[in-house]
C-alpha cells in the first residue's frame, strides 16, 4: 500500500478575487525523503495576503505558482522521518511546505522551533508576518517616542506587531481596521490608542477627516500594508520628515488596479508624488525575504516579549486543509480575526 | 531727488502656465539700509522652476509670494552701502534679493562670494541648483561605480551637476532632455553616456522602450526633478534596491495635474506604488533648504572641480530685469540652454 498525502493546487489563475474553482484539493503520493531530506507531518499552515500575488502570472519579486502545482506557503509540523543529522523524529519545524498535509525538504531549508512556545506562533507573531512588522518599523520607520504612527489591517499579524512595538517604544498608535469588532480588539487587546473602522467612511476624504481628529499632531510614520483608500487618506496628513515603510498593498491585489482598470484612485499619482516631495517623506519599499539575516535579532527581541505576554497574540484557526481556499478568500475580504492559520 | 530701483512683482496668480499679465515691472523707492543692513546693486539674478510654485496660493514647503510683492529669488551683486561689520562696499555677495535691481538685507542673510570665481556661478553650478544635485545624489542616491543613473532636464543646472558628478564617480549616465541640441550638449559638453530627446517619443511607453536600449543593466538611480512622462517611463526599469532622490516635478507644475485635472498619467498610482514595493525602491523627497548646513561641504568638494574645468558650466543669460518674466516663461517651457540667469 502506498501512503497518500493531501494538497491544494492552483487549478487556474484568478480573474480578480479568487473563487473556489481556482483551487483543487487532491490526493498525492507521500514523498520519500532522499539524502539530507526530512519528512514532516504538517500540523498548521499559514495563510498570508502575499499568496494572492503568487497566483497571478505577473513579473514580481517571486515566481508565480505554476498551474497544477501546490499553493505556496509556510507551515509547521513534526518530523516523521529524517535523513538529516540536525533533525530527529518528533522535532517541531517550520518550512515552506505549501498548502499540504505533508512536506519533504532538505534539512537546510527548515528551521527548528523552540518547543516552549506554542507551535503556531512560528507562523504569525514570531514568523514572517511578525518579522515583517518588526523589521519595517525598526529599520525604515525609525520610531521615536512621542511620534504618531498609523497602521492599517491593525489586528492582522503585521499590523498588530507594528502597533504593539510602537506602543512599547512610546509612540501614539492609531490603527485602521474593518469593522467595530476589530477596532475594539485593536484597542482592548493590542493597546492601540485609537482605531478607525474604514468601512464607516464613504471615501478617502471622510476617512482623512476622522484620522485628523485622532492624529492632532499629524502622522510621522505610516506603515503601509494596504494602500487604496487608506493611503489616500493618510498621505496628506504626513508630517515633514515622515517615513513610509511599504510592505504590501492588499487593497489593490484584487481590484484590477495594477492592470490599470480601477476606479476611485484615479489622478492621484501627481498629488501623491507631490506629498512625498513637499513633506520630504522617505518611502522604503521592502520585501522581508531580503532581510532574513536579521531574523535572529528579531527573535531575540520579540520572543521574550511574547513569552511574557507583553506582545499579545490573536490567531484565527480554520479547520482542515480542504477548507484552506475558503479561509484564504475570507481573509482577503478581511473576514479573519487575527493571524489566519489552517489546522491540517 | 529720491533714488529709484526697479523690480518685478506678482500681479496676479497664474492659471496654468504664467503669462505676461501675471507679472508687473515697476519702479520703487531705493531702500535705505538700517542697522546691520547692507545695500546691494544686483548684477545677476537666478530663474528657477521652484518659483512657479511660489506663484500659487497653495500650502507648500514655503509661503507663496503675495500679490503685488516682489517675485522671490536668489541674486548676486556688489555691496554699495553697508551697516554690517562683515561687509564693505565692493564686496560680491549672494542674497535672496528677488527679481529686483537692488536689495537690502541684514548682513546675516548674505553670503560673501569668492572673487576668483565668476560671480554667476553662485547662482547655478555653485549655488542652490548645483547644491541640490550634489546633495541629492550623494545623500539619497548613494551612487556606486558601475551603476546606471538617469536624470532628466539633463542640461539644466541640477541635471548637469548630477550627471557630471555621477560620471566622475564611475556610473553610466543617461540623460533626458528636450530637443537634439540639448542632447548633444549633454553628451559633448557634460560627458553623459547617452541622452534621449523626450520630444521624440509620443508617450511614456515609447520613451521607456528607448531608455531600455540605452540602459541594458536597468536603472539604479533615478534622480527625479521632472516627473510626468519621464517618471512613468523610468519606474518600471528600476533595479531592485534602486534609489529615487526626489527634488522636483516640473512637468506637473503647470499642468493642472496637482489639482487632479490632468490627463495621461491617470490610473498610475497603484502601478507606481507597486514598483516601489516590488523593486524595494527608496524614494526620498527632499527640499534643499533643509540641508544648508552641508553647503560648505559642497563648496569644498565642487568649487575646485569647477575651477579646474572638471565640472563644466553652461549659462543662458537674458538681458535686462524687464525681460525676466519672458525668460522665466521660456525656461518653464524648456527654452533655455543651461542655467537661466538674468543680467540686470
B229: nearest CA partner in chain A:
A270
- Cell numbers representing residue A218 in the block: 499629524
Q: pLDDT band for position A1 (50/70/90)?
A: very low
Query: Which residues of B make CB contacts under 8 Å with A?
Result: 60-61, 227, 231, 240, 246-249, 252, 255, 257-258, 260-262, 265-274, 276-287, 290
Per-residue model confidence as pLDDT tens digits over A149-186:
999 999 999 999 999 999 999 999 999 999 999 999 99
> Can you give the pLDDT at residue B62?
79
In whole angstroms, give the CA distance from residue B230 to residue B132.
Answer: 19
Contacts of B312 (CB under 8 A, 6+ apart): B160, B164, B189, B190, B191
Considering only the beta carbons, identify the residue of B60, B273, B279 that sits closest to A249. Answer: B273
Suggest the residue from A246, A271, A274 to mutate for an interface test with chain B (most B CBs closer than 10 A). A274
Residues of B in contact with A227 (CB under 8 A): 270, 273
% of residues, chain A, pLDDT over 90 = 81
Q: How many CB atoms lie within 10 A of CB A184?
A: 14
In whole angstroms, give the CA distance from residue B50 to residue B46.
Answer: 11
- Compute the count of residue pairs across chains A and B with CB atoms less than 8 Å apart: 119
- Cell numbers representing residue B26 in the block: 515697476
Considering only the beta carbons, identify the residue of A231, A262, A283 that sits closest to B283. Answer: A283
Ordered by where they begin, the domains of chain B are: 4-124+315-343 (3.90.180.10), 128-288 (3.40.50.720)
Q: Does the pLDDT value for residue A253 go beyond 80? A: no
Name the burial class of residue B35, with classes exposed (0-12), middle (13-18) and buried (19+) by CB atoms within 10 angstroms of its CB: exposed
Per-residue model confidence as pLDDT tens digits over A30-70:
999 999 999 999 999 999 988 998 999 876 777 899 999 99
- Sign for the CA dihedral angle at A161, A165, A166, A172 comes to positive
Considering only the beta carbons, identify the residue of B61, B265, B281 that sits closest to A269. Answer: B265
Q: Does the pLDDT value for residue A263 go beyond 90? A: no
- Cell numbers representing residue A146 in the block: 512621542
Between residues B334 and A144, which one has the greater pLDDT? A144
Element (H, E) at B208: helix B204-214
Q: Does the pLDDT value for residue A247 go beyond 70? A: yes
pLDDT along chain B (344 residues), means of 10: 89 94 97 97 95 85 91 98 97 98 97 94 95 96 98 95 98 96 97 97 95 97 91 91 90 55 52 83 90 93 94 96 96 92 96
CB atoms B282 and A285 under 8 Å: yes
Q: pLDDT band for position A248 (50/70/90)?
A: confident
CB atoms B290 and A267 under 8 Å: no
Between residues A269 and A56, which one has the greater pLDDT? A56
Residues of A in contact with B61 (CB under 8 A): 240, 278-280
How close does chain B come to A6, measured CA to CA in Å?
A: 32
Between residues A16 and B217, which one has the greater pLDDT? B217
What phi and psi, each to the nearest 5 degrees, are found at residue B197?
A: -90, 110
Per-residue model confidence as pLDDT tens digits over A211-245:
999 999 999 999 999 888 899 899 989 999 999 99
Suggest the residue from A56, A235, A277, A284 to mutate for an interface test with chain B (most B CBs closer than 10 A). A277
Amino acid at each position: 500500500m502506498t501512503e497518500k498525502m493531501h494538497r491544494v493546487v492552483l487549478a487556474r489563475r484568478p480573474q480578480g478575487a479568487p473563487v473556489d474553482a481556482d483551487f483543487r484539493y487532491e490526493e498525492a503520493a507521500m514523498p520519500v525523503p532522499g539524502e539530507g531530506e526530512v519528512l514532516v507531518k504538517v500540523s498548521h499552515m499559514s495563510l498570508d495576503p502575499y499568496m494572492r500575488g503568487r497566483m497571478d502570472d505577473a513579473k514580481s519579486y517571486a515566481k508565480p505558482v505554476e498551474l497544477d502545482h501546490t499553493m505556496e506557503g509556510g507551515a509547521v509540523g513534526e518530523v516523521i522521518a529524517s535523513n538529516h543529522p540536525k533533525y530527529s523524529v518528533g522535532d517541531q519545524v517550520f518550512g515552506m511546505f505549501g498548502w499540504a498535509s505533508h512536506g519533504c525538504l532538505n534539512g537546510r531549508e527548515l528551521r527548528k522551533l523552540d518547543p516552549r512556545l506554542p507551535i503556531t506562533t512560528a507562523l504569525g507573531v514570531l514568523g514572517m508576518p511578525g518579522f515583517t512588522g518588526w523589521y519595517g518599523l525598526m529599520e525604515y520607520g525609525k520610531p521615536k517616542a512621542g511620534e504618531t504612527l498609523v497602521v492599517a489591517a491593525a489586528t492582522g499579524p503585521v499590523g498588530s506587531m507594528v502597533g504593539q512595538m510602537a506602543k512599547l517604544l512610546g509612540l501614539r498608535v492609531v490603527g485602521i481596521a474593518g469593522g467595530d469588532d476589530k477596532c475594539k480588539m485593536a484597542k482592548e487587546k493590542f493597546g492601540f490608542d485609537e482605531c478607525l473602522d474604514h468601512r464607516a467612511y464613504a471615501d478617502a476624504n471622510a476617512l482623512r477627516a476622522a484620522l485628523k481628529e485622532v492624529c492632532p499632531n499629524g502622522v510621522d510614520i505610516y506603515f503601509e500594508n494596504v494602500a487604496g483608500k487608506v493611503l489616500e487618506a493618510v498621505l496628506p496628513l504626513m508630517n515633514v520628515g515622515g517615513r513610509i515603510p511599504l510592505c504590501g498593498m492588499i487593497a489593490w491585489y484584487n481590484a484590477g488596479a495594477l492592470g490599470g482598470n480601477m476606479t476611485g484612485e484615479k489622478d492621484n499619482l501627481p498629488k501623491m508624488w507631490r506629498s512625498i516631495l513637499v513633506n520630504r517623506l522617505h518611502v522604503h519599499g521592502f520585501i522581508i525575504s531580503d532581510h532574513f539575516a536579521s531574523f535572529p535579532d528579531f527573535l531575540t527581541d520579540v520572543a521574550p516579549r511574547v513569552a511574557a505576554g507583553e506582545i499579545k497574540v490573536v490567531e484565527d484557526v480554520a479547520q482542515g486543509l480542504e477548507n484552506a481556499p475558503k479561509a484564504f478568500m475570507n481573509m482577503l475580504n478581511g473576514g479573519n480575526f487575527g493571524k489566519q492559520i489552517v489546522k491540517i
